[in-house]
Chain A
Amino acid sequence: MPYHVDELRREEPFPVTPETNEHAALRFLVANHDYGFTPSEIAAETKITEGSASKTMSRLHEKGLVSRSQGAYYVDPERVESLKHRLESLDAAVDLFDDAPDDAYANAGWEEQLSELDPGDEPASGETDDTDAETLVSTQEANDEA
């Protein structure tokens, strides 16, 4: 059975930078995924200038993020959900960095100082904990009362 294109791209960093024209155009098309828009129409609905709208849309098309038909660009209905998730993830990552304090992890190269593990390696047996949330909360309440 063939893989869906989004599964193949799942491993890849999202090829759009926040606060760029590509980001604004893609966000607009995902939010209005029932319609197709020409570059001029996209420019009219976003902060993208008329002069750069065509180039922006061509780049998004080349990256395989939007489809094109009769001069109009749109998001493939099957990809709306996954693109929405990727845009949300991008926003979340921006928030994570905005919230991050100045600490040892803010220094370049910290990743190289640590080993890189294979996510496919399962945890060794005996490492899981079956305590359910109710027990955890009960224990916590008992501790609070003590």
Chain B
Amino acid sequence: MTYSHGAVVSIPDPYDRRPSRPAVVVSDEQCPDYGDRYTVAALTSSDRCGEHPYAVTIEADEPASGELLTQSFLEPWATYRIAHGDVRAMHARLNAATMKRIATAYAEMVLRG
């Protein structure tokens, strides 16, 4: 069992003090370690983060399957390498159009940086 590219997953707090955080798997089978661990980008519903020019707005009902809690923002600058066992569950799968907007945000961030 593997979390595929575009999966919206929940990652539990290592200290078990706070609710899980949502993130999107942005790596795929062409990345090293895919399956054992993933590159994920953080999701937030914070409007303050959403105001950032590189943030990607994703509507709650936008995923191809499942849904988000509310309108959320992907933070391309906040990426982490998370082991498979440290992912709790999958809640949605983003569609190709959303992933393309995310890819564009990364391209913008790198090109203009």
Contacts and interface: CB of A to CB of B under 8 A. Distances in A.
A108 to B, nearest CB: 5
19 contacts: A11-B1, A13-B12, A89-B86, A92-B81, A92-B82, A93-B12, A96-B11, A97-B21, A99-B42, A101-B44, A104-B69, A105-B22, A106-B19, A111-B19, A117-B65, A119-B7, A122-B4, A123-B4, A129-B97
A115 interface: yes
Interface secondary structure of B, over-half rule: mixed
Q: Interface size bucket, B side?
A: 35 or more
Interface residues of A, number: 56
B74 to A, nearest CB: 13
B22 A123 contact: no
Nearest to B40: A96
Contacts of A136: 100, 103-104, 107
B4 A119 contact: yes
Interface stretch (A28-36, A52-60, A64-72, A80-88): A80-88
A93 B14 contact: yes
A131 B100 CA distance: 8
Most buried by A among B16, B36, B83, B100: B83
A105 B96 contact: no
A109 B43 CA distance: 16
Contacts of B68: 114
A116 B91 contact: yes
Given A105-B45, A119-B3, A123-B4, A96 B100 contact: no
